[in-house]
A and B are shown apart, each in its own frame.
Chain A
Amino acid sequence: MVELRDVHMHFEEKKVLQGVSLEVQPQERLVIMGQSGSGKSTILRLILGILRSDSGSIFFKQFEINRLNRRKLQQVRQHIGMVYQYSALLSSLRVRENVALPLEELTDKSRSEIDKIVDEKLELVGMQDSKDLLPDELSGGMRKRVALARGLVLEPELILLDEPSAGLDPVIGSVVDELIISLTENSKVTSITVTHEMESAFRIATRMAMLYEGKIIEEGEAEKFKQSKNPVVAQFLSGSTEGPILEGTPDAIRKK
């Protein structure tokens, strides 16, 4: 469904991605892990065509994202849902207006049909009682759930989740994770989640990939990941301060 082939990307002096290749099968729940600033979110933005890679190819189904014109890209994006780390709900619109926005703008559905779909999606994420609230009146977990409802409202084939449980308490984080699992299973949606939260990653993933220094250094099923011999993966999973990740960094020097 999604394929990245030898993707390179840099921001000013910093090389963020240095030859990333990745394949995602339909109905898979891929979790991409990596340190903060390692380029995980950049991969999601490249799949959406919001950023353009320096080189390499990105495919969503048969479409090569980098080669699409603006109009075609907008059509392709309608098959992809995105949930942002900080939810990115439109602050001037109420919850139901936020969820209804893609339907109003991109479909010919009538008002009553839109209302029905919005109610369904809000019920799915347990937010039907908050539909008249503004995003400012919601907690972080509630916003994430509304963002998830908005991401699913067009019945996408692929959903991209950027740090879905970041900043949430463990209980609400688990609720959001469970919600992602049940939604993707029930709706047969493929998902790509980026996170550096281990518990959340192992709960969601059917397959995992580790991004380190601009490359995918390990890829496989969750169980295989736990037994990885790769010292970077092992250190990342254990959260240890001893290992190659901190070598030569100011944090390692400070520790000495």
Chain B
Amino acid sequence: MPNADARRTVPGALEVVEIERTFLREVGSVFWFIMNTFQETMERVQQGRAPFRAASFFRESVRAGVDSVPLVGLVCFFLGLTMALLTGYQLQRFGTERLIPGLVAIAFTRELGPLITGIMVAARIGAAFTAELGTMQVNEEVEAVEAMGIGPLRLLAAPRMLALFLLTPCLSTVSNLAAVFASSLVCKAYFSIAFPYFLDLVKDSLLIRDILTGILKSFIFGLLIASIACYRGLTVKGGAAGVGTNTTSSVVTAITTVIGCDTVYNVVYTNFYPT
């Protein structure tokens, strides 16, 4: 029946339009959130005053950065171990196991280190930021800050955003080192590649460009994760249930954004530097 088909397609199309509209609205909102936070913070700097409390920035840095080192390090250590082991056995069949150090080092510095770090930071810290700010929003603490004449974005979001922006590249470096170290253990134990030779192979294959691109990516991921988490936290509505919903949404959005942004970054990057 053609009419029935038409009835089915129209709502489908409308749903797609609605999803697109929601997506664009959300992207726009996060963009304006970043701009407003930056503007509020810079206005304060122009007045010759500290943009936010140093203690607040250091507390968030410890929580987001230092406290995440064991988790990020451990996960990337295991990933590096597995990657070296599995690729090693395949390469050994062709007698090219000396490619393992370069393969792991390039894969992690350019791609896996920032990506895995981004995903873990989004899950661990993004959720914490959203839940914390969401609870403050529900308890009228954010409104109280606003009522005092203090910019809540500058006071609450800016230190968190700056902490994650600066600490994600550091965590990414930790993850790279952990993975390379793990692969060096595998190379020594299974493929008889001694540590000095392993280091030479890593140095021969790695380019400064590989390291820089990974670090640049991490800065972007850190900013995006923090912005999404703070935005979701400060827009919580509907009490405790709202905090739960926005926390889940924050983690899902941040992880999806990190992966999507990574893909776009790689497409653009490989266009400029094909090798």
Cα of A48 to Cα of B144 in the assembled complex, Å: 11
What separation, in Å, do the CA atoms of A150 and B147 have in the docked complex?
A: 12
The verdict on B140 contacting chain A, using a C-beta distance below 8 Å, is yes
* Of A74, A89, A90, A104, the contact of B149 (CB 8 Å cutoff): A74
The CA-CA distance from A77 to B150 in the complex, in Å, is 9
Across the interface, do A77 and B148 meet the contact criterion of CB distance under 8 Å?
A: yes
**A96-143 interface with B by 8 A CB criterion:** 101-102, 104-106
B interface majority secondary structure: helix
Question: In the complex the two chains form, what is the Cα distance from A73 to B148 in whole Å?
Answer: 10
User: Distance (Å) between the CB of A247 and the closest chain B CB?
Assistant: 31
Taking CB as reference atom, which chain A residue is nearest B39? A70
Q: Mark B120-162, 1 if CB is under 8 A from A, else 0.
A: 0000000000000001100111011111111100010000000
Cβ-defined contact, B148 with A90, below 8 A: no
Q: In the complex, what residues of B have CB within 8 A of residue A90's CB?
A: 136, 141, 144-145
Residue of A nearest to B140 (CB): A88
**Contact across chains for A75 and B149 when beta carbons are under 8 A apart:** yes
- Which residue of B is nearest A104, CB measured? B53
| Residue among A80, A86, A90, A102 with the highest chain B CB neighbour number at 10 A | A90
Q: Which parts of A48-107 form the interface with B (CB within 8 Å)?
A: 48, 50, 71, 73-78, 80, 82, 84, 86, 88-91, 101-102, 104-106
Q: Please name 15 further chain A to chain B contacts, defined as beta carbons within 8 Å, in addition to the given A77-B149, A104-B53, sorted by A numbering.
A: A50-B143, A74-B151, A76-B149, A77-B146, A78-B149, A80-B147, A84-B143, A84-B144, A86-B139, A88-B139, A88-B141, A88-B143, A88-B144, A90-B136, A101-B150
Q: Which 4 A-B pairs have the closest CB atoms?
A: A77-B149, A88-B144, A88-B140, A78-B149
Give A contacts to B, CB under 8 Å.
48, 50, 71, 73-78, 80, 82, 84, 86, 88-91, 101-102, 104-106, 150, 154
Instruction: List 12 interface pairs A-B (beta carbons < 8 Å), by A numbering.
Output: A50-B143, A74-B151, A75-B149, A77-B146, A88-B144, A89-B144, A90-B136, A90-B141, A91-B135, A91-B141, A101-B148, A106-B148
